Chains A and B, each alone.
Chain A
Amino acid sequence: MESPLRLIALNPVDRLARTVEALLVVASAPLSLDELADATEDHPERIETAICLLRERHAEGRSGIVLEEVAGGFAFRASRDAADACARLFERPVERGLSQAALETLAIVAYLGPCSRPDVARIRGVAADSAVASLVERGLISEAGREPGQGGAVRYRTTPLFERVFGLESLAALPRLDDLGEDAAELRERLLEVAEARAS
């Protein structure tokens, strides 16, 4: 028998949105559309509709919980309004105290990964052992097989946690490498200018 207090009947999308909401609350890592579709036994297209509904409900400024698309999936996070309170209660061990060497190593792995420690050392010009170990310990990079051949060096790639910590929807959200730094031709010109100035 229907409850006499129930005034608003849920439509199917609403019902699905509630289920998706529940799954995202339970999950501690972002859930992809496929994972949500599997769990709800529903179509990905309908999940997308439900996600749109949830995005409206859990938007920044409207709720203490915000739905974001990150690391190839969807996840809840605290609203930015609550950041100060969160900071008083929780630490951020993953990104705290990341050294310049670790950041450069992380950038190399993010752009060129999977890549090995020798690859990183070749670009940076110094050994990358401690920086790689630190990033592995923080969970920002992880092993991804070995280089071809017997005794090949271990390769590393970034983890979904990396994307989450840096708020990236995926690695494709990183800026294009060509847009960063100086052009090799420009650099060469500058090097030649310096050399000529010294020679004279």
Chain B
Amino acid sequence: MLPTPVRELELELDAFEGPFDLLLTLLLKEELEPREIDVAAIVLAFVERTAERDELDLEACGEFLVLVSALLELKARALFPDEAAELGELEPEEAAEELARRLAEYRRMKEAAAWLLDRLGAEQDRFFRIGPAPLAPRAERVLARQDPDALAEALRALALPPPTVSLGHMALRFPPVSQFLERFRTVLSHRRVFDFDGEVEGLSRVEQAVALLALLELRKAGEIALSQAQAFAPIRVSRADDERIHEWKARSA
């Protein structure tokens, strides 16, 4: 029978809520997964419970340690199923042999570590250089003799505003749109229809662009009509009233 403080230890875990003895019963009946049990929370609960009491119940503490150790072992086995299977497959005799073999291996390594420690102690008076030696002596960088006035002069030169950069070569000369408005109006006063391409032939690209803008202005104002047989075909410019006459004729026909 468990001592009272351990048995009655009330637990509030994520996976279980109730007294400790019930938790153990459920675990032993395999109705609860050991991996879901927060062992640290159980330890904390026990420590808090023990702290509330005036006297330390050594018997209860001892029992608790044994039980928590068993719980940890169960949990560890559940977390590493392969190892559990590996050991589980062994006969008791073989398992004892395996245990002894592992223990012996660890003991040997412990002895080896002790040997290394002794060796380290014996070698305490051995000093040697560690770290990479420079492959070649580094040349010392000798600075020229510094003059404060020269430095001020250099800074002054740097503080001067830079000369204004000329953008003259980038300037574009745009002729006024009005120039082409007048020109097209004059042409249409003499001719009923003209080709835009023929009219602007020989002009620069900028002038041609401005002429097109003037053409669009006239079309917007309803002074002219524009037609083009197909894309990139010559643009035919005619008086606006002529277009209306054409439309009237087409509707009458």
Interface residues of A (CB under 8 A from B): 26-29, 75-78, 80, 82-83, 86-87, 90, 92, 94-95, 98, 100, 103-104, 106-108, 110-111, 123-125, 161, 164-167, 174-175, 177, 180-185, 187-188, 191-192
Contacts and interface: CB of A to CB of B under 8 A. Distances in A.
Given A77-B128, A182-B107, 6 more contacts: A83-B125, A110-B112, A111-B109, A111-B112, A174-B115, A191-B103
A125 to B, nearest CB: 7
B127 A86 contact: yes
Interface string B104-127: 111111111111110110111111
A68 B128 CA distance: 11
B123 A187 contact: no
Contacts of A165: 120, 123
Given A124-B109, A125-B106, A166-B120, A188 B96 contact: yes
Chain B interface main SS type? helix
B131 interface: yes
Contact of B127 (A28, A78, A185, A191): A78
B104 A187 contact: yes
A92 B129 CA distance: 10
Given A103-B116, A107-B113, A192-B96, A167 B108 contact: no
A11 to B, nearest CB: 29
A161 B127 CA distance: 13
B110 A82 contact: no
A90 B125 CA distance: 12
Given A77-B126, A185-B100, A191-B96, A123 B132 contact: no
Most buried by B among A82, A125, A180: A180
Contacts of B150: none
